[in-house]
Chain A
Amino acid sequence: GENVEQHPSTLSVQEGDSAVIKCTYSDSASNYFPWYKQELGKRPQLIIDIRSNVGEKKDQRIAVTLNKTAKHFSLHITETQPEDSAVYFCAASSSGGSYIPTFGRGTSLIVHP
């Protein structure tokens, strides 16, 4: 089955800095990669996703890049703000698995004012 590794487990940045979270996946058939943000005690919320026919996708301060050859994808947050503090999860899924996402273990992002 799919295996998703996520790094780092904790990331501490100053407000205004950029943050990068990296994930690797094992199943070359994976073709849909969502990212979720989970604030303490709240539900995971989809913040951005990317499909395998696209190398990069951007939405305001958030961008995701995908390297299919290397089987890794990354989340980039620019101009971080304290409200970006949360746990971020990457996930990978494929049609063979009915698009059931396999999640990484999460990255706790702390943005210091």
Chain B
Amino acid sequence: DAGVTQSPTHLIKTRGQQVTLRCSPKSGHDTVSWYQQALGQGPQFIFQYYEEEERQRGNFPDRFSGHQFPNYSSELNVNALLLGDSALYLCASSRGQGISGQPQHFGDGTRLSIL
């Protein structure tokens, strides 16, 4: 039973560029959430996708966008990269959007470095 998988594992970009990160949820999960984790901080919620629509959004600018595909996999896109976007980007999946106490399962993350 495959868990949450993310690609790529590491990425180096320069300011102003655009990046796409990918996530495949755990088998049986249909909800995907994205988080940004800066060094020494807890994960910060970016947005959540369910039934191919963005359902919840955290306090992130619209440079951060996403997509969910019919097979429940998801992409995170970040435009006009800033130095402050350097972080570990985590994808988490769960079963059913908004269902009481459904734990989120995390992937290993994508380490994004902006030069």
Residues of A within 8 A of B (CB): 4, 6, 31-32, 34, 36, 42-46, 49, 51, 89, 91, 95, 97-106
Contacts and interface: CB of A to CB of B under 8 A. Distances in A.
Given A43-B90, A43-B106, A43-B108, A100 B41 contact: no
Given A32-B100, A97-B56, A102 B45 contact: yes
B56 A100 contact: yes
B84 interface: no
Given A44-B106, A99-B102, 14 more contacts: A4-B42, A32-B100, A43-B4, A43-B106, A43-B107, A46-B104, A46-B105, A49-B101, A95-B98, A99-B98, A99-B100, A102-B45, A103-B44, A105-B42
Nearest to B96: A99
Nearest to A4: B42
20 contacts: A4-B42, A6-B42, A31-B100, A32-B101, A34-B104, A43-B109, A44-B43, A44-B90, A45-B106, A51-B100, A95-B98, A95-B100, A99-B98, A99-B99, A100-B56, A103-B44, A104-B42, A105-B41, A105-B42, A106-B40
Contacts of A6: 42
Contact of A100 (B4, B48, B103): B48
A100 B33 contact: yes
B55 interface: yes
B43 A89 contact: yes
Interface of B: 4, 33, 40-45, 48, 55-56, 58, 90, 94, 97-109
A44 B44 CA distance: 13
A32 B58 CA distance: 19
